[in-house]
Structure 1
Amino acid sequence: MEPKYGPHNGNSPRYTGIRTFMKLPHVQEVDDDIDVAVVGLPFDTAASYRSGARFGPSSIREMSMLLRPANAYHKMNPFQRCSVIDYGDLPLLPGNIQESYSIISKAYKQFAENNIIPIGLGGDHSVALGELRGLKEHYGKPLSLVQFDAHGDTWDNYWGMKYTHGTPFKRGVEEGLIDPHSSIQIGLRGTVYDPGDLDVAKEMGFDIVTADELRLLSPQELSKRIKDRVGDKLVFLTFDIDFFDPAYAPGTGTPEPGGFTSAEGLSYLRQLPKMNLAGLDLVEVLPALDQSEITAHLGATIVYECMSLIGKFGITR
């Protein structure tokens, strides 16, 4: 059966019209006719250095207008296989992270109840805790985390604050939202507060692939390592734009030199294995620091490639 929802048919110039992701219909009544929902998470109060990622969702949507529906690499059109909408932004509250978490959690629980895979547009990485809470509330079990990121975000606190964009996955383990023993963090690099910071994450149970280690792996080898790690468990895939080198993604709040090219990142993503995806997100795009909107364009492309993976493998839950 033809999917009910998909992008605009292209009979008008791509730069016209209301800014939804790839001109997807803006729908806020969830039902069984929806497979995937793009969701804006405009929150950056938990950023530790540069603020402004609250404007990431609008910038990503703007640059998504450049994307065309068919995927030349996978040789298919994901929108012919999945019904996809843009749900719009959740009404998150600057300065009130706990209430914002409640809003995210409630929405994500509703998506899961309707068998919809949400793709969040951040926002700083703290939003992931709200996403995980909502998914766990519905599924009743912890999820496996597949994380592309320069930072592990497993610190205990920033300045005594437990809820920041550097702590969501430590909180996620503590709250039973994440099973660290079936989770993997990919691309970690840069300076840390203590020489043993990565060892702490390993002791929690995470498999760590540093940037230096990743450069020794082919996309196919990484894919196998991920599949061996997560198996058939429910997966939350999270992609921080600072996985990329600042030369390719300057518009982010905590850039780290020595990252990956856009070509490398897309290659890793396109080779991801079949996973039982419960939700995904793309976070930390900060438009005010972007150059020629290349960061937002790359972020939009990452989201599209995730949609393509869903179209390729189907929804397996």
Structure 2
Amino acid sequence: MENRTSSPVVSDDYVTFGRSHGKTSFPGCLIAGIPTFLGANVVPPKREELEAHGVKAAVLGMPWEGTATLRPGASYGPRAIRMASEAYVSYHGEYQVDLFEALNFVDCGDVSVVPGNAARTFERAERCISEIVKAGAFPIVFGGDDSCPIPVTAALSKLIDGPMGYIQIDAHMDTAENVEGETLNHACPVSRTAELPNVDPSNVVVVGLNSPLNPKSERDYARKAGIQLITVSDIDDWGVNKTIERIRDIAWKGTKGVVLHTDLDVLDQAYAPGVSVPEVGGLTSRELLKLVRGLVALGIDAYVITECAPVYDLGNNAARVATRLALDTLGIRANPSGLGHV
């Protein structure tokens, strides 16, 4: 088997995973090659193989949307994000680091979903994520609907040695105890995480709330449990930097690890129409990038990005935002002292 952690396979005649940079630092064609994320080589989510290749960061797709209650299509999110990444190369110009060289970054493919069966799908996802983390690699998971963080936090809670914090950037609370008896619904990732044995709900925060579609029952659950809520209006009043400080004081207070999740519907629909539950009046893409960069710089243990539904987005805008969120996250991990600009 070829060494997939060195430079991507290139030839004068063809490109497989990754792209030829030729004699210059820029490829002749950005869309050449198989559309893995960023053209990264493929290593399956198996601990021994990831360790053998020295992988420090990996993406994993989770094309699951078994509980959608509005617009379907998020199962195509992982594929759309990979295709959107074709606009970039492995060198991150703002953080001035090559992600392949610094992180031995790879694409672990997709969780094999069981249609109509969330429990079995999540068991598979949890095993994949656990293998990545046990190998010493940082996972970025592309959903899928908003239930996809459930197996991620379940996996990390068993691997973090101590209390765990959780941040969900979302227009909606997602604190339902269940939906018509279904506890693995896309409206339940925050409540399922808050119930984990090493998670104190006071270390859980939902950021960017901005919707009439936030039921009283979910608000009541959040208040009863002690889950912290930050609205878009709060961000308007505080500014992004102050918001990051508030989140730090919640999610990192006494914890040994933190999982971050971004639901792309936190963005104003004008910036990302390709989501399952769009909202107006949300964050701008610049605000979201600044927010995520600040949180990643504080140190997170896994990142989940959900609700990219490209069928509603001719410009693939939501997938492009997801790509930038992932690239900037990797850039910070590869070069923590980077300035975030040229």
TM over 0.5: yes
User: Which one of the candidate residues 26, 30, 37 is aligned to 2:50?
Assistant: 30
Give the secondary-structure state (helix, strand or coil) at the position aligned to 1:256: coil
- The CA deviation at 1:215 is 1.4
Say which is worse superposed, 189-198 or 27-36, in terms of deviation.
Answer: 189-198
Which residue type is aligned with residue 224 of structure 1? E
Match in the other structure for 2:30: 14
Change (3 A) 1:160 1:219: same
Q: How many residues align?
A: 312
Say which is worse superposed, 243-252 or 299-308, in terms of deviation.
Answer: 299-308
User: Which one of the candidate residues 261, 264, 270 is aligned to 1:241?
Assistant: 264
Matched, 1:152 2:173: yes
Change (3 A) 1:174 1:227: closer
Which residue type is aligned with residue 174 of structure 1? E
- The CA deviation at 1:177 is 5.7
Which residue type is aligned with residue 304 of structure 1? L
Give the secondary-structure state (helix, strand or coil) at the position aligned to 2:301: strand
Mark the runs of 5 or more structure 1 residues left unpaired by the alignment. Answer: none
- The CA deviation at 1:294 is 1.4
Matched, 1:288 2:311: yes
Match in the other structure for 1:312: 335
Match in the other structure for 2:15: none
Say which is worse superposed, 52-61 or 154-163, in terms of deviation.
Answer: 154-163
- Give the Cα–Cα distance (whole angstroms) in 2 for the partners of residues 251 and 55 of structure 1: 11
- The CA deviation at 1:217 is 2.3
Q: 1:143 touches 1:178 (CA, 8 Å); kept in 2?
A: yes
- Give me the identity figure in percent: 26
Match in the other structure for 2:300: 277
Change (3 A) 1:313 1:13: same
Change (3 A) 1:182 1:174: closer
Which residue type is aligned with residue 218 of structure 1? G
Which residue type is aligned with residue 49 of structure 1? L
- Give the Cα–Cα distance (whole angstroms) in 1 for the partners of residues 194 and 216 of structure 2: 22
Give runs of aligned pairs for residues 111-260 of structure 1, distance below 5 A: 111-139=132-160, 141-176=162-197, 178-192=199-213, 194-195=215-216, 197-231=218-252, 233-260=256-283
Q: CA RMSD in A?
A: 2.2
- Give the Cα–Cα distance (whole angstroms) in 2 for the partners of residues 229 and 193 of structure 1: 22
Change (3 A) 1:5 1:146: farther
Q: 1:5 touches 1:24 (CA, 8 Å); kept in 2?
A: no
Which residue type is aligned with residue 35 of structure 1? K
Give the secondary-structure state (helix, strand or coil) at the position aligned to 2:237: coil
Which residue type is aligned with residue 187 of structure 2? G
Say which is worse superposed, 199-208 or 249-258, in terms of deviation.
Answer: 199-208
Give runs of aligned pairs for residues 54-93 of structure 1, distance below 5 A: 54-93=75-114
- Give the Cα–Cα distance (whole angstroms) in 1 for the partners of residues 300 and 200 of structure 2: 15
Q: 1:5 touches 1:34 (CA, 8 Å); kept in 2?
A: no
Q: Which has the larger radius of gyration?
A: 2
Matched, 1:298 2:321: yes
Which residue type is aligned with residue 309 of structure 1? I
Q: Alpha-carbon deviations, 1:68-118, whole Å to 9, x = none? A: 334444444444432210011111112010000110111111112111111
- Give the Cα–Cα distance (whole angstroms) in 1 for the partners of residues 239 and 92 of structure 2: 22
State the TM-score, normalizing by the size of structure 2: 0.84
Q: 1:44 touches 1:51 (CA, 8 Å); kept in 2?
A: yes
Mark the runs of 5 or more structure 2 residues left unpaired by the alignment. Answer: 9-17, 23-27, 338-342
- Give the Cα–Cα distance (whole angstroms) in 2 for the partners of residues 276 and 125 of structure 1: 23
Q: 1:79 touches 1:311 (CA, 8 Å); kept in 2?
A: no
- The CA deviation at 1:198 is 2.9
Give the secondary-structure state (helix, strand or coil) at the position aligned to 2:330: helix
Which residue type is aligned with residue 117 of structure 1? F
